[in-house]
Structure 1
């Protein structure tokens, strides 16, 4: 039903079914894997109103980090795991899955991808860590545009006229204050700019 593709490798279809709704596939040499393409083979569709949630094992106990989903309407997805491998301990949206597989040690592997077949309503409630979602040119352009708009709006509210000229200046301390505030807000919530 599922397959994965890693750049420079042949597609892999050797998923192992570990329960009625859970599947895993070992990934060798995971240190050289930045992205995984997960796709349905087209041979078996999901039942109506179901999809597959992609998951990556967390290093913090028997939990898995949600990567995203595939469905009959969206039969493929790209998951970025390079940041995830480096920052697994930061993941805060792991779900406890694949308990049957956790006790098996027969498959030597560097990494493991799990797919859990679940109702779409449950998959919609899952949250991806920001390190997993591939960035896109559109989101980068949106971020830069909003950041620059914020900067210009803030700085221009502090414009001062230079006496005897048509020049206008902004004290450097205002620019530094904007920068410090923006950095603080970004560290508190990397997605704050999406709501402004």
Structure 2
């Protein structure tokens, strides 16, 4: 049902089913990961009224809620490096994800976990509201950091383009994106920028 792609690595489809509503991907050599993309494969949609929260677990540091997926939003990209901050979400999800033992070998890099929890959309929206409120308190000044600004713009473009692929198609490196979609993104991006500055980039997933 889910796929995962770490920037610079091969596509992962080795999803581990924990129970009926929880699944995870193991992410080896996690310290080298900058961005991760999670998406629906397009084979099995969510039941009506349901979606999934996406969690990141770093051994000895805890959990971080990254965002969500739904039939209307079948893919998302998340920045991991330099953004980890443990925050509260479903304890049930945490217990499910950590039920899989991650054996770390001395001298090797850490293996992290990307967890997916299928939940009712109203529960997910409540968690996302809390996440957005927490992010608003630590929002960096994008105008003073061109690296973060560039990261947010690329992330915004990726999510916009991904929304046109839809849940009925498999996301692969060979998917062709018409230039008209890039043009629409640019027009929309510039309108938001002129209307309220760059703040919308921090509220986008």
Normalising by structure 2, what TM-score?
Answer: 0.58
The aligned counterpart of 1:4 is 4
The aligned counterpart of 2:100 is 104
**Structure with larger Rg:** 1
Deviations 1:75-100 (A, max 9, x none): 00011111234xx3xx3334322414
Q: Aligned-pair RMSD on alpha carbons?
A: 3.5
Which consecutive unaligned segments of at least 5 residues does structure 2 have? 105-109, 140-150, 157-188
CA separation of 1:95/1:101 partners in 2, compared to 1, >3 Å: closer, same or farther?
closer
CA distance in 2, matches of 1:145, 1:49: 33
Return structure 1 stretches of 4+ with deviation > 6 angstroms.
none
Asked whether the equivalents of residues 102 and 111 of structure 2 are also in contact (C-alpha less than 8 Å), the reply is: no
Residue 78 (1) aligns with residue 74 (2): no
Residue 113 (1) aligns with residue 130 (2): no
CA separation of 1:10/1:58 partners in 2, compared to 1, >3 Å: closer, same or farther?
closer
The aligned counterpart of 2:63 is 64
CA separation of 1:145/1:110 partners in 2, compared to 1, >3 Å: closer, same or farther?
same
Deviations 1:78-134 (A, max 9, x none): 11111234xx3xx333432241442432665521100000011011011335379x7
SS of the counterpart of 2:83?
Answer: helix
CA distance in 1, matches of 2:65, 2:97: 17
Asked whether the equivalents of residues 53 and 116 of structure 1 are also in contact (C-alpha less than 8 Å), the reply is: yes
Normalising by structure 1, what TM-score?
Answer: 0.60
Deviations 1:14-64 (A, max 9, x none): 111112100011001111111111000001100001101100126678x63
The aligned counterpart of 1:161 is none
CA distance in 1, matches of 2:7, 2:58: 23
Which consecutive unaligned segments of at least 5 residues does structure 1 have? 148-190
Equivalent positions of 1:112-131 (< 5 A) are: 112-126=113-127, 127-128=130-131, 130=135
CA distance in 1, matches of 2:198, 2:18: 46
SS of the counterpart of 1:121?
Answer: helix
Asked whether the equivalents of residues 22 and 98 of structure 1 are also in contact (C-alpha less than 8 Å), the reply is: no
CA separation of 1:43/1:95 partners in 2, compared to 1, >3 Å: closer, same or farther?
same
Higher relative contact order (CA 8 A, sep 6+): 2
